[in-house]
Amino acid sequence: MPDLVLYQPDIPGNTGTLMRLAACLDFHIHIIQPAGFRLDDTNLKRAGMDYLELARLVRHSHWQNFEAWRNGESRRLLLLTTSGSESHLEIKYRQNDLIMLGRESSGVPDFVHNAANHSILIPMHKQARSINIALSGAMVMGEALRQTDKFP
């Protein structure tokens, strides 16, 4: 099943919302630390509500640990970014894909961009800068789950 990866998230409300989505749609959510908040943050709990206990959370203490794990599992990394070169609707998703979202404040560093197998974007109005990260994650995970026939 495709999984969602958050690279050092900044905003607990967005992370809580995505953890709730992961719980409801039964996929793993990976967090590459450090996060910009404590994972027991009140705002995280408010956004995730009582679904946080159902979320299948995988923590990676830093990027190098995540990359070692990913390479050991032979999983493809799809980076969702406003500078992506492929539409999220044109990608052919695979069952073991990892869909990564960057920090709300700064995205991901160049070494993460370079490690990604694909850089994908959500097509949007030319005058808009970006879509909220939780909404973006939901849109792309929905398409990935649809294509791989993995909705619960």
Residue 22: CATH number of its domain: 3.40.1280.10
- pLDDT for the residue 43: 63
Neighbouring CB atoms inside 10 A of 68's CB total 11
Range of the domain at 10: 3-147
- pLDDT for the residue 18: 94
- pLDDT for the residue 52: 77
- Asked whether residue 16 carries a pLDDT value surpassing 60, the answer given is yes
Phi, psi of 115 (to 5 degrees): -80, -20
pLDDT in tens, 47-104: 556 777 888 889 999 999 999 999 999 999 999 999 999 999 999 999 999 999 999 9
The residues near 40 (Cβ < 8 Å, ≥ 6 apart) are none
Is 65 among the domain residues? Answer: yes
- Average the pLDDT over each of 9-13, 30-34, 40-44 and give the range with the smallest value: 40-44
Confidence band of 46 (pLDDT split at 50, 70, 90): low
Is 152 among the domain residues? Answer: no
- pLDDT for the residue 49: 65
Neighbouring CB atoms inside 10 A of 117's CB total 11
Is 80 among the domain residues? Answer: yes
- pLDDT for the residue 47: 59
- pLDDT for the residue 80: 97
Is 104 among the domain residues? Answer: yes
Is 131 among the domain residues? Answer: yes
Of 53, 55, 47, 50, the closest CA to residue 24 belongs to 55
* Overall number of domains in the chain: 1
Packing angle, helices 12-25 and 133-147, rounded to 10: 20
Q: What is the pTM of this model?
A: 0.93
Confidence band of 41 (pLDDT split at 50, 70, 90): low
Per the prediction, the chain carries an average pLDDT of 92
What is the average pLDDT across 96-122?
96
